[in-house]
Amino acid sequence: MTHGLAGLLIADVAEQSLTRRGLSVGTRLRRALSVLGIVAAEFPDSDLIYSGPVLDMGALGYLLHHRGHTHTIVWAVVSAMLLWLVARWWVQRAGEQLSRAASTTLLVVALVGTLSHLLLDFTNSYGVHPFWPFDGRWFYGDAVFIVEPWLWLVAIPPLWWNRPRGIGRWLLPFFLIVIVAAIVFLGQVARDVSVVLVVFALLWTVGQRFVSATGRTISGVVAWVLVTVGFFVASSRAEARVREAVVVASAAASERVYDVSLNPGPGDWGCWSAVVVTGTDTTYRVTTAVVAPFSGVRSLATCRTAYQGGRMGTDVLGDLPERAVVPFVATTQVMWRSTWRSSRRALAALYATCEGYAALHFMRVPLFIATGSGLSLDDARFGLGGGFSHMDVPQPGCSREGYWIPGWVPPRGDVLGATDNP
């Protein structure tokens, strides 16, 4: 939904740009802009067609190939050109005249739409590698959760009021009602945050009624940007607080921070969950924490009370039988939850297996536990045991050959000493 709403906002900006230049926007062109905006913004996820069972790789097929080659700037530009040609053909097929300005505007919508998908995917902790094949590294924004309600609430009302007729006139308010109901009843959003979100949704929806079409679109885009910037500012502060806490508490052991994966509470700039990767020259550690980057306004105590369950309230390492004592000292802004430690040698041995080698080209926070037949491997960002990133690694040897491993740089190459593009 997030990508689709972004695409519709892009289409509205394009339509109003043509109108302000005195150019006529016919019904078919208007529909083409809206459909093209949505399709272009969603199109990089076309890798879902082949990233699952089609590749016969089990869980690895999804891990390695979703947000894969279709989530690169090269593919975004190529696919935008193809979508533009289809949109041009569709408009002209009905005999409607298509000026050079209108054709150029369709091209811009296609390009901005596909590139917006990469940018939005960057904002969360899953990551993208947009510069492949020139650079195979993963990039993580660690700022906006993948289903962020603020983005939906700021976008839907201006988009709705700008559609006097058609499917969007009734579908958009339906989505808005469903989202508000989910905020209130699903229990994932903190109660005080849900009140703010619902009140904002009501006032924002009513207020958009009295704004011009151009004003609605501008306010929707500006609000979207402000929400995103706010989360990035909070994320940067949260990461700094975590790094400070680890460095101060572990200076004697020379433990250093390799990575901090962050997610906010839904709609909540003030409460964050963190999965922290640290280590020494011989050890590798994963630690979970709750972070209150603005503790003077929203304290750790408030975060603990607000999130008793759900994604934010659950410690992903909480059920591990091999948890160790967290060696870091809690601060007024960082509450440590659980920690798990292994050796860098064991991680290197995992990388030497077929499945481990492939999986570690995706896994940012690999966590592995010995079983009777090998290892149980997960990316701790997505839970343990039953998440989509879970896989069993048989040892010794390999269970199969011929994995199609893309050229991504392993996220934990800093610990492994591996920077290879296979």
Write the single-letter amino acid at 139.
F
Provide the angle, in degrees to the nearest 10, between the axes of the packed helices 149-161 and 167-185: 150
Q: How many CB atoms are closer than 10 A to CB 385?
A: 11
CB 141 within 8 Å of CB 235? yes
What is the C-alpha separation between 354 and 366, in angstroms, rounded? 15
pLDDT score, position 252:
60
- In the sheet that holds 374-379, the strands lie side by side as 366-370, 374-379, 391-394
**pLDDT score recorded for residue 370:** 87
Give the burial string for 341-368 (b: 16+ CB within 10 Å, else e).
bbebeebeebbebbbbbbbbbbbbbbbb
Can the peptide bond before residue 164 be classed as cis, meaning omega within 30 degrees of 0? no
- CB within 8 Å of 59: residues ≥ 6 apart: 388, 389, 390, 391
DSSP bridge pairs for 139:
128
Q: How far is CA 190 from CA 7, 79, 175, 281, 308, in A?
A: 29, 40, 21, 40, 9
pLDDT at 399: 54
| pLDDT for residue 61 | 86
Answer whether 36's CB lies under 8 Å from 110's CB: yes
DSSP code of residue 215: H
pLDDT of residue 96: 72
Within 10 A of 420 (CB to CB), how many other CB atoms are there? 12
**Measured between alpha carbons, how far is residue 198 from residues 221, 272, 302 in Å?**
20, 21, 20
Q: In sequence order, which ranges of 162-212 are alpha helices (DSSP H)?
A: 167-185, 191-208
Report the C-alpha gap between 359 and 417 in whole angstroms: 16
Q: Please answer whether residues 365 and 261 qualify as being in contact, where contact means their C-beta atoms are separated by less than 8 angstroms.
A: yes
Q: At what angle do helices 213-249 and 149-161 cross, to 10 degrees?
A: 170
pLDDT digits (tens), the chain, 422 positions:
999 999 999 999 999 999 988 888 888 899 999 999 999 999 999 998 888 777 777 778 888 999 999 999 999 999 999 999 999 999 998 777 788 999 999 999 999 999 999 999 999 999 999 999 999 999 999 999 889 999 999 999 999 999 877 787 889 999 999 999 999 999 899 999 999 999 999 999 999 999 999 999 999 999 999 999 999 999 999 999 999 999 877 666 678 999 999 999 999 999 999 999 999 989 999 999 999 999 999 999 999 999 987 778 889 998 887 677 788 888 999 999 999 999 999 999 999 888 889 999 999 999 999 887 788 999 999 988 877 889 888 866 665 556 688 989 999 999 997 555 44
Closest to 402 measured CA to CA, from 51, 61, 46, 50: 61
| Residue 105 Cα distances to 3, 32, 88, angstroms | 19, 11, 11
Residue type at position 230: G
Give me 396's structure tokens: 């010794």
